[in-house]
Amino acid sequence: MSHKRIPKRKAAIAAGSVVALGAAAILLPNANASQDGASDGAAAPKTLKAADASDLASQLAGMLGDAFAGSYYDAESQQLVVNVIPGDNNNVVVQAKQAGAKIREVENSLTELASGAQTLKSEVTIPGTAWAVDPRTNKILVTADSTVTGDNWDQLESTVDSLGSGMATIKKSAGTFKTFLSGGDAIFAGGSRCSAGFNVTAGDGSPAFLTAGHCGVAAEQWSDAEGGQPIATVDQATFPGDGDFALVKYDDPATEAPSEVNTGDQTVPISQAADAEVGLQVLRMGSTTGLNDGQVTGLDATVNYPEGTVTGLIQTDVCAEPGDSGGSLFTQDGLAIGLTSGGSGDCTVGGETFFQPVTTALEAVGATLGDAAGGAGAGEEAGGEEAGAGEEAGAGDEAGAGEEAGAGEEVGGEEAGAGEEVGNGNADGTGNGLGEIVGNGVGN
């Protein structure tokens, strides 16, 4: 059966086209004009969109080489801040400033920070701990949940101290690190409930969706209703280990699954997958808590869940709860960023939450965003032409992870992804802009 839905309301905010900034366009021709820093005094940091800042950061990382010590996006000033290790090659620093970045000298190189993280991995892989590099402090931020006590806490604290006072800090979390798998609504398998993330096209051309890997290893077949007939089957799943992601193929090959996230209040077309940047403002949609926002706080995070260690995750301050696992992490302008993995706390007290990067998941499973038959959805622009089933798709097809979200459910009268009406919808029931939080989806 087809899970294509006709949207009741179009997205109030369309996905903006993301233009990659080419190195030739960014690095100004007179960047080499001064070796003494005279010209860079006039080079003010540029105001950049988050996606453009991420592109620029990648380019500068290659240009600066060993001098590059990480970067982050200052959302308030809309500037890219790049950490550098002081050295003799002032020319590349001048070029980085001319490119539009704000340069900050720091002590710890990426190699030193990586070495510190390796020490933590070899000596304190304790369930309930996590660590990620925080470029804003130029240190490793180590987090321990409420289960880390006694000898385990002493061992963790001792190991962090051994790295040196300027290398790492410890933060104590009141919650408990766990994957957000639960029983309830959205997509179901036995007594388990998860959320679909983003619709994709598998390498063989069949329609599928991405979700969390711990959902994929929990059960092979998933339904759009509790106790209902399966509609999709797990094709690949990784958890624990190098990520937390799964590719789940729709059983009906005629299923149309273009890229879109339904926030319960409006529909956001997804134009392409993008890498996260610390400081990036993000939105998370899940079947339990609906739409919530926050920012990226760490990259390449290692999390020691009770089930095992997972590496390569995105750390954020966006809340999540059981049942949100696998749900979409995306930006206001329609970039797919991550899949909900797990964390601590809830949407009352907050906490840390970790996400699988979408870019690495797509590469690992050999899939592309959206519905190949729809003609957009994977980052290609469809302009004013009709895509998929004849809907206009400015930056991708409509319907995907929103109306369908892997399965087609109605939440509060809006289509959100699993085939049945499941609750109260948004708390206010109104058409808020995407920049506002619009309630708790299916309810807490």
User: Which residues does the annotation mark as catalytic?
Assistant: 214, 244, 325
For residue 406, the Cα-to-chain-centroid distance in whole angstroms is: 18
3-state secondary structure 330-343: ECCCCEEEEEEEEE
Q: Residue 311 is inside which H or E element, if any? A: strand 308-316
Euclidean distance between CA atoms 107 and 104, whole angstroms: 10
**Contact call for residues 186 and 194 (beta carbons, < 8 A):** yes
Euclidean distance between CA atoms 16 and 334, whole angstroms: 7
Q: What is the DSSP letter of 210?
A: E
Helical axes 110-123 vs 150-162, angle rounded to 10°: 150
Query: What's the token pair of residue 40?
Result: 């860079």
Euclidean distance between CA atoms 336 and 331, whole angstroms: 7
| Main-chain dihedrals φ then ψ at residue 149, nearest 5 degrees | -140, 175
For residue 50, the Cα-to-chain-centroid distance in whole angstroms is: 13
- Up-side HSE of residue 234: CA atoms within 13 Å toward CB? 20
Q: What is the DSSP letter of 42?
A: G
DSSP strand pairing (79-84 vs 102-105): parallel
Please classify residue 252 by burial: count the beta carbons closer than 10 Å to its beta carbon, then call 0-12 exposed, 13-18 middle and 19+ buried: middle
| Main-chain dihedrals φ then ψ at residue 151, nearest 5 degrees | -60, -35
- 3-class SS of residue 301: strand
Question: What Cα–Cα distance (Å) separates residue 323 from each residue in 85, 232, 280?
Answer: 43, 18, 24
**Contact call for residues 144 and 176 (beta carbons, < 8 A):** no
- Up-side HSE of residue 255: CA atoms within 13 Å toward CB? 30
Euclidean distance between CA atoms 198 and 335, whole angstroms: 11
Please classify residue 65 by burial: count the beta carbons closer than 10 Å to its beta carbon, then call 0-12 exposed, 13-18 middle and 19+ buried: exposed
